[in-house]
Amino acid sequence: MTSGVTWFCIGLTVGAYTLSRVVARRYPSPLTTPVFFSTVLIILVLIPTGLRAADYEGAKGILVSLLGPATVSLAVPLYKNRRALLTNTLPACAGLVVGSLGTLAAAVFVARVLGLPDVVRASISIKSVTAPIAIELAPIINASPAVTAAFVIATGMIGAMIGPWLLSATGIHDPVARGLALGTISHGQGTAQAVLEGELQGAAASIAMGLTAIFVSVVAPVLVPWLG
Amino acid sequence: MKRLLIVIAQLAGLLLVSQLGYAIASWLHLPVPGNLLGMLLLLALLATGVVRLAWIEASASLLVRHLAFFFVPITVGLMGLGDLFRANGAAIVITLTVSAVVGLCVAGLSSQRLASRRERRPS
């Protein structure tokens, strides 16, 4: 039986998301990113009504059941942009392997130096994997799905904000290399940024996002416990 | 109305592929997300021509466009974790920024170097 609370939470989530899309279009800024904005809005509504995270679980179960088909759909941009990959196989694969391993190792290392707790360290290691896959990968490596999702989205924002500037400053002008770096590190949000630079950058980013998710999903269960 | 029915039928197809991905992951005891296997399965079906892009495109592009929606229920779970972020906020931001900078530079430089080497080679 689906309770009234669950229906209320589903309605609230759909409403908050719809509103956030409108706000993001009118006032584009990292703070109006739909995920961030909707989450804050929902929490602000839940707190005064006395509902807790546990009361939201029912709605979460129903809404997250659509995450599977949504992730499967990512095969479509991958398939459409296959030409960009086939003509740049070696630089693309080398870049995303080195880039995703580099960011994973750097994250685990810095987190350890700064003394972050275990669950945070595990969650931060996979923050460059696109959110739908990172959420499912999290329990496999003893990370928290919610914390991981927050890190993934924050990484997307950071990369989209500083990425284009940083790449220019370090002399990276090749369109495939730029798109690849943005997609590898900042997944969906990086891809959206790369699309603004050009079609080739966008295609490279979208391929890199998909392949990074595949690569990290395969290596993280072995690598993350080993890096500790 | 017809468009809605098409989208629903396509959605059912995508759901089927996704469920197959989860089933394969649990049968073979693979430590890999089931939805990732579903994505690879759909990619293989498209590449081999078993499934045509037109059969699923309307629904798939709708889901990809609103992918962010499906993360919201997960991030609402942060509600109970306020203390974790209050205690470690600065360290988390530093870790995320440093690792993003390292990753962007390493990925960009290595692929640019390899791409330019290939271009210089006479073909």
In a domain, B93, yes or no: yes
| Residues B55, B1 within the same domain | yes
B2 pLDDT band, cuts 50/70/90, is confident
Pair (B46, B5) in one structural domain: yes
Indicate whether A152 pLDDT > 80: yes
Look at residue B120 and tell me whether its pLDDT is greater than 70. no
Distance CA(A132)–CA(A152), nearest Å, equals 10
Chain A residues closer than 8 Å to B77 by CB: 53, 56, 60, 145-146, 149
Mean pLDDT to the nearest integer, A12-30:
87
Q: Which position has the higher pLDDT, A215 or A53? A: A215
Flag whether B71 is in a domain.
Answer: no
For chain B, the domain total comes to 2
Q: What mean pLDDT comes out for the span A37-45?
A: 88
In a domain, B8, yes or no: yes
Same-domain check for residues B8 and B58: yes
pLDDT value for B106: 93
pLDDT of residue A1 exceeding 60: no
Q: Does A158 sit within 8 Å of B97, measured CB to CB?
A: yes
**In terms of domains, do B53 and B85 share one?**
no
B101 within domain boundaries: yes
Query: Residue B73 falls within a domain, yes or no?
Result: no
DSSP character for B78?
A: G
Say if residue B120 is in the same domain as residue B83.
yes
Q: Are residues B93 and B37 in the same domain?
A: no
Please compute the mean of the pLDDT values over residues A1-18 and round it to a whole number: 86
Using one digit for the tens of pLDDT, what is the confidence trace for A58-107? 888 888 888 888 888 888 888 888 877 788 788 888 999 999 999 999 99
Mean pLDDT of A15-29: 87
pLDDT at B95 over 90: yes
Strongest mean pLDDT among A45-54, B22-31, B78-87: B22-31
Chain A nearest C-alpha distance from B92 (Å): 7
Tens-place pLDDT, residues A177-214:
999 999 999 888 888 788 778 778 888 888 888 889 88
CB contact under 8 A, B18 and A68: yes
Do B58 and B110 have their domain in common?
no
| Whether residues B12 and B47 fall in one domain | yes
For residue B72, name the pLDDT band (cuts at 50, 70, 90): confident
Calculate ∠ Cα A192-A128-B114, nearest 5°.
80
> Closest chain B residue to A132 measured between Cα atoms?
B71
Task: Determine the Cα–Cα distance for residues B27 and B25; give it in Å rounded to an integer.
Answer: 6
Q: Tens digit of pLDDT for each residue in B12-31?
A: 999 999 999 999 988 988 77
Q: Are B83 and B123 in the same domain?
A: yes
For A212, list phi and psi in degrees, rounded to 5.
-60, -40
Whole-number Å distance between alpha carbons of A81 and A204: 8
Q: How sure is the predictor about A2, in pLDDT bands with cuts at 50, 70 and 90?
A: low
pLDDT at A56: 83
Indicate whether B60 and B4 sit together in one domain.
Answer: yes
| Chain A residue numbers touching B25 (CB-CB < 8 A) | none
Do B56 and B11 belong to one domain? yes
pLDDT given at position A123 = 93
Among A83-87, A130-134, B40-44, B88-92, the minimum mean pLDDT is found in A83-87
pLDDT > 60? residue B93: yes
Which residues constitute the domain of residue B98? 79-123
Is residue B72 in some structural domain?
A: no
Check CB contact under 8 Å for A52 and B80: yes
Pair (B92, B121) in one structural domain? yes
Residue B51 belongs to some domain of the structure: yes
**Selected residues 24-63 of chain B with any CB under 8 Å from a CB in chain A:** 31-36, 38-43, 46-47, 53, 56-57, 59-61, 63
Residues with Cβ within 8 Å of residue B1, at least 6 apart in sequence: none
The ipTM, to two decimals, is 0.82
pLDDT at A74: 82
Q: Can you give the pLDDT at residue B123?
A: 43
3-state secondary structure A143-175: CCHHHHHHHHHHHHHHHHHHHHHHHHHCCCCCH
On whether residue B88 sits in a domain, the answer given is: yes
**The pTM is what?**
0.80
